[in-house]
A and B are shown apart, each in its own frame.
Chain A
């Protein structure tokens, strides 16, 4: 069954068009991630799904029902916000049980669900504390717990990890992945961190300027990007876009080649170039190179390597892994 179906969603704020017709279906149990640069309309789309914002045009269907005129609380959704948004005057337990109290659930049932959710997230020792007495990571876990308690048809996350520091981000990411497995729930998640997107998603929706550029599994997007935008957005360091003519290809405009598909050697290779900068990360090494005809590009080598800046090296592109794009930036297949 489809958990969520968006058709022709448009959104206009005054005279600015933010979303230009979004069509998307999400199957039950899927983990879908919206990625895109800042300001492309990810949060706006999520808020339209939640009912916190009205779509200017189009329909939102959750579990087969059109919910355009349904208030957020009746849509069977739960949402986790970037800024945690815990109720400051309630304890952790109060925060987690408020929605069910509003629905008029029985006390025993509330107790049971709060108990299950807090066990799942390790929140039991914190139940009587107030949000001000919690750390950032704990607050976000409570916010996630508050969503879990409701047993929603659809979980919505708006950049839930972006206020956390790097280590906590990894932990909480694992927590969310585990939660998704255990609950088998449908989740829609917004982020602009591509590592989060690649590691969590069943399906990634790449957005740009209010449009969907491509929808696909992480590996599909990595291996078969539909256009230069997606190719450049997925993968780090970014894919190199080189002038096709300079590489002797006359049927394409641009050749895209990922930094990890470039071999570098001091003696032999197809192309001689100059090292402009080197970044050694231990597990891998990023080389910033420049060739007179092709221009600057990046190579990523696995393991430890060293090439002195300003020295000359030879590179070979793995042409079987290259991506070809036409003048419109669309992939040539």
Chain B
């Protein structure tokens, strides 16, 4: 940085704002994680204190691992998230490619129709979705959740990816056509690698709401064998007594896989956000 471009006061202010934002964003996570390692009494007495040797307790984790099928719930969540994510990325990218690459009648209309889902929450259709799932016998299956989440994630994915795909050089695609590559090869080997940062961005924005969702698991797949982590954690929240240790421990554990997935994508994500800014 040159002196002309940065002053101490300005960079202090910028950092102060960023740090404040980080603290606010991390505070709930901090409270959950910290209290997951404390005894029940200490959670209520000193909710903001770090666990001390006296207050430290793993009772929550013990409850979680001994009661219920938490491993199964994790597995369900992971299957649903990963499969839905893969479907969203694959079909979203393919639809985006078609919309940005081919001129056909109704292209714009189709684009608008596919993007409509961004503005209309899928939950408005819950009753109809439930009826469809009942009619097709998919209630209490992971397939039901995967289908719904794929539908939920596609609009934004198509919207973002088609913008990015428009920026992929026409010459490159045409060179592929002249050299005899099929449209599928052009899509998979030339276009997809070039929009990888956008794919990562879409992946993160798609994945987190799916992992955290409570609504559809509760309605479409509440059976013991298909419960997801978020739904599973609810069993510790009773009408009269809530096992806070267990709830907090379950939530803490639930953060881990999504954090791992995020870290996988984040390198690409950062490149996506800054791409074009720096060459």
Distance of B233 from chain A, by nearest CB (Å): 44
Contact partners of A170 in chain B: CB under 8 A: none
Decide yes or no whether B137 CB sits under 8 A from chain A.
no
- B171 close to A72 (CB less than 8 A): no
- B180 close to A81 (CB less than 8 A): no
Given contacts A81-B171, A82-B171, A83-B169, whether A89 and B193 have CB atoms under 8 Å apart is yes
Distance of A323 from chain B, by nearest CB (Å): 39
Decide yes or no whether A52 CB sits under 8 A from chain B.
yes
Task: Scan A79-122; emit 1 where CB is below 8 A from any B CB, else 0.
Answer: 10111111111000000001100110000000000000000000
Decide yes or no whether B275 CB sits under 8 A from chain A.
no
Given contacts A87-B190, A89-B189, A89-B193, whether A73 and B178 have CB atoms under 8 Å apart is yes
- A102 close to B181 (CB less than 8 A): yes
Query: Residue of A at shortest CB range from B175?
Result: A85
Distance of B175 from chain A, by nearest CB (Å): 4
Among candidates A47, A79, A103, residue contacting B175 with C-beta atoms closer than 8 Å: A79
Decide yes or no whether A71 CB sits under 8 A from chain B.
yes
Distance of B189 from chain A, by nearest CB (Å): 7
Question: Once the chains are docked, how many angstroms separate the CA of A310 from the CA of B194?
Answer: 58
Given contacts A52-B174, A82-B171, A87-B175, whether A103 and B190 have CB atoms under 8 Å apart is no
Distance of A144 from chain B, by nearest CB (Å): 12
Query: Residue of A at shortest CB range from B193?
Result: A89
- B189 close to A81 (CB less than 8 A): no
- B172 close to A87 (CB less than 8 A): yes
Distance of A142 from chain B, by nearest CB (Å): 12
From B175, B177, B180, residue with most partner A Cβ within 10 Å:
B175
- A85 close to B177 (CB less than 8 A): no
Task: Scan B151-193; emit 1 where CB is below 8 A from any A CB, else 0.
Answer: 0000000000000000001011011111111000000011001
- B194 close to A88 (CB less than 8 A): yes
- B172 close to A85 (CB less than 8 A): yes
Distance of A133 from chain B, by nearest CB (Å): 16
Contact partners of A82 in chain B: CB under 8 A: 171
Query: Residue of B at shortest CB range from A78?
Result: B178
Contact partners of A78 in chain B: CB under 8 A: 178
Question: Once the chains are docked, how many angstroms separate the CA of A102 from the CA of B175?
Answer: 13
Query: Residue of A at shortest CB range from B194?
Result: A88
Among candidates B172, B176, B178, B189, residue contacting A50 with C-beta atoms closer than 8 Å: B178
Decide yes or no whether A77 CB sits under 8 A from chain B.
yes
CB proximity to A under 8 Å, residues B192-251: 193-194
Question: Once the chains are docked, how many angstroms separate the CA of A167 from the CA of B235?
Answer: 75
Query: Residue of B at shortest CB range from A13?
Result: B103
Contact partners of B172 in chain A: CB under 8 A: 83, 85, 87
Contact partners of A77 in chain B: CB under 8 A: 178
Distance of B99 from chain A, by nearest CB (Å): 17
Task: Scan A24-56; emit 1 where CB is below 8 A from any B CB, else 0.
Answer: 000000000000000000000001001110000
Contact partners of A86 in chain B: CB under 8 A: 175
Contact partners of B194 in chain A: CB under 8 A: 88
- B193 close to A52 (CB less than 8 A): no
Contact partners of A52 in chain B: CB under 8 A: 174, 177-178
Contact partners of B179 in chain A: CB under 8 A: 73, 98-99, 102, 146
Given contacts A83-B171, A85-B171, whether A72 and B178 have CB atoms under 8 Å apart is yes
Distance of A164 from chain B, by nearest CB (Å): 15
Contact partners of A99 in chain B: CB under 8 A: 178-180
Contact partners of B189 in chain A: CB under 8 A: 87, 89
Distance of A56 from chain B, by nearest CB (Å): 13
- A72 close to B177 (CB less than 8 A): yes
Question: Once the chains are docked, how many angstroms separate the CA of A99 from the CA of B176?
Answer: 9
Question: Once the chains are docked, how many angstroms separate the CA of A72 from the CA of B189?
Answer: 19
- B193 close to A71 (CB less than 8 A): no
- A79 close to B180 (CB less than 8 A): no
- A88 close to B193 (CB less than 8 A): yes
- A79 close to B190 (CB less than 8 A): no
Query: Residue of B at shortest CB range from A52?
Result: B174
Task: Scan A130-147; emit 1 where CB is below 8 A from any B CB, else 0.
Answer: 000000000000000010
Distance of B196 from chain A, by nearest CB (Å): 11
Question: Once the chains are docked, how many angstroms separate the CA of A61 from the CA of B235?
Answer: 74
Given contacts A87-B190, A88-B194, whether A73 and B180 have CB atoms under 8 Å apart is yes
Distance of A44 from chain B, by nearest CB (Å): 12
Contact partners of A87 in chain B: CB under 8 A: 172, 175-176, 189-190
In the complex, 25 of the A-B residue pairs with CB atoms within 8 angstroms, ordered by the A residue number, are A47-B174, A51-B177, A71-B177, A72-B178, A73-B178, A74-B180, A77-B178, A78-B178, A79-B174, A79-B178, A82-B171, A83-B169, A83-B171, A83-B172, A84-B171, A85-B169, A85-B174, A85-B175, A87-B176, A87-B189, A88-B193, A88-B194, A89-B193, A99-B179, A102-B181
Known interface pairs A72-B180, A85-B171; 13 further A-B residue pairs with C-beta atoms within 8 A, sorted by A's residue number = A51-B177, A72-B174, A79-B174, A79-B178, A83-B172, A85-B169, A85-B172, A86-B175, A87-B189, A88-B193, A99-B180, A102-B181, A103-B180
CB within 8 Å of A: which residues of B? 169, 171-172, 174-181, 189-190, 193-194
